[in-house]
Amino acid sequence: MPWRPPANDHFYRLIVRTGQFLRWALQLDIQATGLEHLPAQGPARGPSRKAVRGHGAVFAVTHFGYVDFAVVELLLWRSTRAQLRFLVHQGAADHWLAGPAISASGHVVVGYTGRADAYAAAVARLREGEYLAVFPEAGVSRSFTVRECRTGAVRMAAEAGVPVIPVSIWGAHRILTRGHGFSFRRSWRAPIRVHVDEPVVFPAGVDVEAATEVLRGTLQAGIDRCIAGFPLRPEPGAWWMPARLGGGAPTDAERQLLDAADAAAGRRRAPRGKYQSK
């Protein structure tokens, strides 16, 4: 089990600066629409470089690749100097290298068991005014379309009385995703498009299944908008494009079969427990 240092804002800012340096080094072309929907909370104390808390929000983020977290984190930091916490699976927290960084960054770890504790901790963070990011798809979508979502984002937001902010990210999966490792050639000046949708407030007692399906549609609409404005024109059958647009990614039906096979092998989502259920 890795060493677990306490959360430290200075370490978080070091991680952010590292991300900013990597963006500069690779000359990433990150452009976003809907920035007016980000929290307007500015620095509450000290100079603008200090990390701040806002009024709480759940960021529901699409998950097509392994650097999506960095994109949304840098976006919020650049806009408000606010720290974004993530719900992180225990498997990542147990990694010898990532584990200490996750702990020092103050993220919420979802354990193999006792997931209700993580849910309660997340709701408490939201009530304290923190921003919490969730990947409602609970894993990387290899079809590059938004797959079935868990209800946790809606439930946490409704219980804490904070909005859900949908964030759709397109292009970051070309840098690193399932089955496709890092390539400097693909990453150099890689375009990444982000759409931030209007915050949604869900009342207590909301039908979380129906609301989550609406959230899924909103996220997919954001992806479609990002694709429409994407500067690269892929060749037919390009691996990073969804099948419905002539790409080489698995279809939704194929993706479901692959996900089911992974689940049977213990490599995917665990069966719904108390934390993940409605």
47-51, 67-71, 103-107, 270-274: least confidently modelled range: 270-274
Q: Which residue in 68, 118, 110 sits closest to 88, CA to CA?
A: 110
Return the pLDDT at 170.
98
% of the chain beyond a pLDDT of 90: 64
% of the chain beyond a pLDDT of 70: 89
- Using pLDDT thresholds of 50, 70 and 90, give the confidence band for residue 54: low
pLDDT at 276 over 80: no
pLDDT at 273 over 50: no
Domain 9-200+207-230's class? alpha beta
Domain ranges (residues) in the chain: 9-200+207-230
| Residue 119 CA to its chain's centroid (Å) | 17
**Residue 29 φ/ψ, nearest 5 degrees:** -100, 85
pLDDT at 68 over 90: yes
pLDDT at 88 over 60: yes
**Residue 268 φ/ψ, nearest 5 degrees:** -125, -155
The average pLDDT across 49-55 equals: 56
Q: Do 166 and 197 form a contact (C-beta atoms < 8 A)?
A: yes
Return the pLDDT at 224.
98
For residues 20 and 270, the model is more confident at: 20
Q: Do 27 and 189 form a contact (C-beta atoms < 8 A)?
A: yes
Distances (CA, A) of 191 to 16, 71, 166: 20, 12, 20
Return the pLDDT at 252.
92
Please write the tens of the pLDDT for every residue from 94-147.
777 777 888 877 788 887 766 788 889 899 999 999 999 999 998 899 999 999
Please write the tens of the pLDDT for every residue from 252-271.
999 999 988 888 887 644 43
Q: What mean pLDDT, rounded, does the chain reach? A: 87
CA 270, 273, 278: angle at the middle one, nearest 5? Answer: 120
pLDDT at 43 over 60: no
Please write the tens of the pLDDT for every residue from 188-232.
999 999 999 999 999 989 999 999 999 999 999 999 999 999 999
Return the pLDDT at 171.
98
Return the pLDDT at 116.
81
Q: Which residues, other chains included, contact 275 with Cβ-Cβ below 8 Å and sequence gap of 6+? A: 110, 115, 116, 118, 119, 152
Return the pLDDT at 114.
65
- Using pLDDT thresholds of 50, 70 and 90, give the confidence band for residue 248: very high
pLDDT at 20 over 50: yes
Q: Which two tokens stand for residue 222?
A: 């954001």
Q: Which of 89-93, 94-98, 161-165 has the highest mean pLDDT?
A: 161-165
Q: Which residue in 218, 170, 167, 166 sits closest to 190, CA to CA?
A: 170
